[in-house]
Structure formats: structure tokens, C-alpha cells
Amino acid sequence: MQFHIPYDMYTQKYPSKRLALYYAIRDYIASGVLGIDTRLPSSREMAALYGLSRGTVNEVYDMLSSEGYVTSGVGRGTFVTFQPPKPRLPELSRQDVYLLSDWGKRLNEQQTRSTDNDNLKDRHGEARRMVDFQAFGPDSQWFPVQEWNRCLYAQARLLASSEHPQAGISTLGDPSLQESIAHYIRRARGIAADASQIAVFNGSMQAIALAAQLLINPGDRVVMENPGYAGAARAFQAIGGICIHAPVDGQGMIPEDWEAKLLMVTPNRQFPTGAVLTLDRRQQLLAWASERNSLILEDDYDSVFRHRGKSLEPLKVLDREGRVIYVGSFSSTLLPHVRIGYAVLPPTLTPLFARAKRLYEPKPSNLLEQRTLASWMNSGQYERHLRRMKRVYGRKFKLLRELLTDRLSSMFDWIESDAGLSLFGWWRGPGEQYTRFRSRCLEAGIRWSDTSVQDMASGSIRYGAYFYFPRLSEDEMVHGVNQMQDIGQTIEATER
């Protein structure tokens, strides 16, 4: 049995072997190194490990048992029963911060918003039924696990039989997946990219963060949508970039003549409002990039599930000067733990991205999952899965849109949307009222994601809410919206 405690160190602190073993085990349990339900070696195994008699080990186990640290049973073994309180993470001292790089200091200063407790309770402390419109990710119950596993096992056997499975593979990704992605986006998105321009990442955020490191210097200005993706803003600010917040309306980002080096946009489905950038504005952004000698980071995060209408061409399709980096992701279509994203790079940037990625991953990571996805796409099963999920999500999209429009339109101004896995609305009332409404809904077990923007003219804060629906059943959506309606009506009645 593999087991280790610092017994030799404790023999220098305590006069007897019995006390040294006792305190070594007790301290490891108390500090959480040996977690609850951890099985300790038998007395014979422990004695052999540290050159002790079984009698000494049994005596130590009895001492620990009497104090509530372990429990023992004949024929069952000895298990840890003590669970220490969760320690608070220590804050960095001034000296620790001084030792950080400028990038590390900026990361340390960033504040990430804490998530609400999953175990929501009402005012009387009783657990409530949870309706989580905040849960992002696919509905896994519809995922064809058996089909995926067949491809997974086949690729695992091939990798196991290969003497050099990673030989000749670029850090940009497995060639088979690069080819599959190039073929897919050529047909589905109209992007005519060579497979060598495809870089595979562990999710789209990794692609955005690496692009920030390669393209932004401290003090450089980056244009971002407002509201927009906070994760990308943190990546740019950690590099030392200065974010310029461009306003968004029902037609997407409003173009201006910014003085900036990089622009990030979600044209095909603006995050989080869902607005679609018009063709005229797309052309204006490309003209701006050409005139300013700037680059555009196009994040196509959520447009694969189109419920009605026809999508416009991505900026990458309209790009004639190699100024657009197109970022896509499989996160909304695969199992939640499979994180695969990709970027379509301009040919001039491809070698630079390869060298940068090689610093973090000398060899491509998750090679098995990359080859599994490639095999699944080549077999046609991936697109069959997409067609099935479009029907499932289409029904949920229609139901939630009808529920929100019919029952909550007095409180929210809903933004029209044709695609994606969430719906967005602007709060119509004052900010204080929104805060009370959100708090009361949270107490009732209903939560969602939200954002806020400041009106530059009046200085007032405008609140927006977006509701993800893939993981919710139709019954949960009905229950959640009904509860929100009741709470909203109660608040309105008390404020008349």
C-alpha cells in the first residue's frame, strides 16, 4: 500500500516511537492531508513501513480512535473520521506582492465576482427548490455517450499501439482535428481556412488569453463591447491593456474611430445581449481595422444553435487583409468536462502562436480527446448530434421566450434573439428595485446571471439579466418564471 507520513521527522521531536507515530498521523489528519474516509494501512503494513511492532501501531490506532480521529472495524480496516474546518486562503502580504511580476500584481488586484451558494435557503433556513438560469453548459442527458465512447476507445487503442504517438505533431493541435475543423467551418460558417491556420486550445478562453499576451503591451488600448465578456477584459487588463468600452444597441457594437490596437467583438451573437451585428457595421469594423492597422478578435462563442432565420457571414469571411482572428469553441456541444476550443489564425500570425503555445505546452495536451473529436466529426456523428440538440434547444428557447415575454415584460425589456443558449433583457425599473427583486428571487431558489452598464450622460446604472436554459427542464422553467412573476408583483404592490 502506498502511504507516507513524516515519521522520521517526528522521531526527532518526540522521545518514543509510539508518540512520533501518533503525532505524525494526528497532525496529517488535523491539517487535512489525510482526508475524511481515507483508509490507513493495516497494523501489519504500517509496522513494516516504519520498522515498528504491530503492538505499537495498534496502540496508536486506539489512541486516535478514542479521540475521534479514526474508526476501526474487524475485517474492515481503519478509516479517517475527522474532518477539519475548511481553511481560509491566506492573503498575499506586501512582501509577497512585491515579489510578483507586474503581470502577477495585476492579476492579484483583479476581483472576481463570487457565485451564490448552490444550497439556497429561505428565510427560515430550509432548502428551496433550485431553478438555476445561471448554469452554463450543454444538457448532458442528450449526449450520445456510447457513440463518443466507441470513438474514444478506438483512438485509445491506436495511441497505445503507437511507439511515438506525439511524433511530428505540432503544438497547435492534432492534424486530424485541424483538418476536421477546417472542413466543418468551411461548410458550416463559410470560412475557407487551411488546416495549418487552425490552432486547438483548451477552451476559447485560452486562445483569447494567449492572443492578449502576444498582441498587447502595457498601455495599449483594446476595444470591448459594453456589456461584454468580463473574462476577456481581465485577460487584457492583466497584460496591462486599457479597455475602451464601446456601447451596444439592438444591432450590436456601435462603430467609432477608436485609437486602439485590438478590438474584440461577438458579432454573430453579442455577449450577453444576443444582438446580431449588422452587415454594414461589420464592414465598418473591418474598414476601421485597415485604417488603424489593428486586429480584430472575433469570438463566435454561441451561434452554432440557430433557432430561426439565417446567420450573417462571420467577420473572418469578409476579411480580405488577414486582420481577423476567429475563435470558436465546442464547449456547448460536448460533455462539460471536455474543453476544446480553436482559433483560425491569419497566416502571418500562425508561426508566432505556435512558438508561444509551445512555451506552455511543448506537446499538444488532451491528444486523446482531440483525436476522438476528429474521428467523431469525420464519421458524421457530430453533426447528427448538433441537429438533434438544435431541436431540443429550439423547443426550450421558444418556451422560455414565450414565458419571459408573457409574464415578465413589465419588468424587463427583452432583446430579440434568433440563436444561442440564453435570453437577455434590460431591467425597466430603478436599480434599487432590481437589487431587491434579485435578492428575493435568490431567497426563493431562483438565480440568473446579470450585468450592468453606466449611462455616461446621466451617470445612472442600467441592469441587464441573461437566462441560460439548456440544463433546465420545461417544468423548471415554468416554475422559475412563475415564481419571478409573483415576486415582482409583490414588490410592485408594496411600493405603490
Q: Is residue 104 part of a domain?
A: no
Residues 286 and 207 in one domain: yes
Q: What is the pLDDT of residues 17-35, one digit of tens each?
A: 999 999 999 999 998 899 8
Residues 269 and 362 in one domain: yes
Q: What is the pLDDT of residues 416-434, one digit of tens each?
A: 888 999 999 999 999 999 9
Q: Is residue 471 part of a domain?
A: yes
Residues 404 and 330 in one domain: no
Contact assessment for residue 277 and residue 251, using Cβ atoms and an 8 Å cutoff = yes
Where residue 248 sits, what CATH number does that domain have?
3.40.640.10
**pLDDT grade for 169, boundaries at 50, 70 and 90:** confident
CA distance 95 to 299: 39
Residue 482 has pLDDT above 70, yes or no: yes
What's residue 220's pLDDT? 97
Place of cell 450622460: 457
Q: b/e per residue, 389-401, with b = 16+ CB within 10 A?
A: bbeebeebbebbb
Q: Is residue 107 part of a domain?
A: no
CA distance 315 to 318: 5
Residue 116 has pLDDT above 60, yes or no: no
What residue type is assigned to position 444 of the chain?
A
Q: Is residue 89 part of a domain?
A: no
Nearest to 268 by CA among 189, 194, 334, 182: 189
What's residue 441's pLDDT? 96
Residues 303 and 342 in one domain: yes
Task: For residue 151, count CB atoms less than 10 angstroms from its CB and return exposed for 0-12, middle for 13-18, buried for 19 or more.
Answer: buried
CA distance 252 to 54: 73
Place of cell 490552432: 199
Average pLDDT of 330-346? Answer: 93
Contact assessment for residue 252 and residue 270, using Cβ atoms and an 8 Å cutoff = yes
Among the ranges given (48-62, 113-127, 132-146, 371-385), the one the predictor scored with the smallest mean pLDDT: 113-127
Nearest to 282 by CA among 261, 298, 303: 298
Q: Is residue 259 part of a domain?
A: yes
Average pLDDT of 61-75? Answer: 88
Q: Which residues pair with 152 in a beta bridge?
A: none
Place of cell 457594437: 253
Q: Is residue 349 part of a domain?
A: yes
Q: Is residue 237 part of a domain?
A: yes
What's residue 78's pLDDT? 93
Where residue 52 sits, what CATH number does that domain have?
1.10.10.10
Average pLDDT of 124-143? Answer: 80
Residues 335 and 439 in one domain: no
Q: What is the pLDDT of residues 176-195, one digit of tens each?
A: 999 999 999 999 999 999 99
Residues 280 and 201 in one domain: yes
Domain membership of residue 271 as a residue range: 143-159+169-380
Q: Is residue 216 part of a domain?
A: yes
**pLDDT grade for 311, boundaries at 50, 70 and 90:** confident
Query: Helices 474-494 and 431-443 meet at what angle, rounded to 10?
Result: 130
Residue 321 has pLDDT above 50, yes or no: yes
What's residue 480's pLDDT? 97
All three cell numbers of 109: 488586484
The per-residue pLDDT of the chain, averaged, comes to 90
Contact assessment for residue 268 and residue 317, using Cβ atoms and an 8 Å cutoff = no
| Total structural domains within the chain | 3
Residue 380 has pLDDT above 90, yes or no: yes
